[in-house]
């Protein structure tokens, strides 16, 4: 069975960077909902225009919109054959439920990249992406605690959770992640 994984962790924890490296090494498809939404914004689609307002404020795009995008992507042949690593999804209990409906037992591993609020705030202030204003950062971290942190117990209850220390150099963190993935 192709490998199915999700990567959890606060904004600025390094998820995107590590997810790209994991996809490269293990041959799974990296699916970043943030990147998909930014492409939709760049293309100026109707969905992109609606999403941009929410993204700039640090708010979440509604579950039904994001679930639709992910469902469509997961059904494509490259994902079915090669497996997947979802980055930035699921982010709410409603998305987690939807994901189980889409992939069921194909979801084998939830990696939680653990980095404190203080450290991720500093990192985001330094990287200066368009939606990295102090207000938007604060809002996203607040939503993370309220909506996404509960998914850690969800993943633990499914028996798929592994917590990885996200502090330190990129290569060190990648080595820690690789040990966990190699084990399954
Ligand atoms: P970050 O993790 O720093 O918020 P992302 O690139 O993952 O960066 O997401 C950027 C924005 O896109 C989010 O603030 C949110 O508005 C939207 N977004 C991305 N993924 C989701 C999702 N799964 N559910 C709802 N909104 C999302």
Global pTM reads 0.96
CB of 183 closer than 8 Å to CB of 24 = no
Does residue 114 contact residue 10 with C-beta atoms inside 8 Å?
no
Q: What is the mean pLDDT of residues 12-27?
A: 97
Q: What percent of the chain has pLDDT over 70?
A: 100
- pLDDT at 114 exceeding the cut of 90: yes
Residue (of 113, 115, 112, 88) closest to 99 by Cα position: 88
**Average pLDDT, rounded, for the chain:** 97
Give residue-wise pLDDT tens across range 124-157: 999 888 899 999 999 999 999 999 999 999 999 9
1: how many CB neighbours lie within 10 A of its CB?
A: 7
- DSSP secondary-structure letter at 7? E
Residue pLDDT, tens place only, 149-160? 999 999 999 999
- Residue with CA at minimum distance from ligand 1 atom 13: 55
The span from the first CA to the last CA of the chain, in angstroms, equals 11
Structure tokens at 127: 């990287």
Average pLDDT value for residue range 79-83: 97
> Starting from the edge strand earliest in sequence, which strands make up the sheet with 161-165, in order?
29-32, 84-87, 4-8, 109-114, 161-165
pLDDT band for 104, please (50, 70, 90 cuts).
very high
**3-state SS assignment for residue 36:** helix
Q: Which of 35, 37, 95, 115 is the pocket-test mutation for ligand 1 (most atoms within 8 Å of CB)?
A: 37
Domains of the chain plus CATH, in order, are: 4-182 (3.40.50.300)
Report the distance separating Cα 170 and Cα 184, nearest Å.
22
Q: Are the C-beta atoms of 28 and 53 separated by less than 8 Å?
A: no
Instruction: Report the pLDDT value the prediction gives residue 40, as an integer from 0 to 100.
Output: 97
Q: What is the pLDDT of residue 14?
A: 96
Task: Give the span between the Cα atoms of 120 and 126, in whole angstroms.
Answer: 10
Ligand 1 center to 108 CA (angstroms): 23
Q: Which of 7, 31, 54, 61 to mutate to test the pocket of ligand 1 (most atoms within 8 A of CB)?
A: 61
- pLDDT of 129 reads 87
Token look-up 């993204």 returns 55
Task: Average the pLDDT over each of 20-34, 38-52, 120-134, 143-157 and give the range with the smallest value.
Answer: 120-134
Quick check: CB of 33 below 6 Å from ligand 1?
A: yes
Note the pLDDT tens digit of each residue in 158-181. 999 999 999 999 999 999 999 999
The per-residue pLDDT for 142 is 96
Q: Which of 9, 38, 60 to mutate to test the pocket of ligand 1 (most atoms within 8 A of CB)?
A: 60
């Amino acid at each position: 069975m192709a490998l199915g994984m999700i990567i959890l962790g606060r904004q600025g924890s390094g998820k995107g960077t590590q997810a790209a490296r994991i996809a490269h090494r293990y041959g799974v498809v990296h699916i970043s909902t943030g990147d998909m939404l930014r492409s939709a914004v760049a293309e100026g689609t109707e969905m992109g225009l609606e999403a941009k307002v929410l993204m700039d404020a640090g708010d979440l795009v509604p579950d039904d919109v994001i679930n639709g995008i992910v469902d469509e992507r997961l059904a494509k042949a490259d994902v079915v054959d090669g497996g997947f690593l979802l980055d930035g999804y699921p982010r709410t209990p409603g998305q987690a439920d939807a994901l189980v409906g889409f992939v069921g037992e194909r979801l084998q591993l939830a990696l939680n990249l653990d980095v404190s609020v203080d450290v991720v705030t500093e990192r985001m202030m330094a990287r200066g992406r368009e939606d990295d204003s102090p207000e938007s950062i604060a809002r996203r971290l607040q939503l993370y605690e309220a909506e996404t942190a509960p998914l850690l117990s969800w993943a633990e209850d499914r028996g798929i959770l592994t917590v990885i220390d996200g502090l330190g150099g990129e290569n060190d963190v990648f080595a820690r992640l690789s040990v966990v993935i190699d084990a399954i």
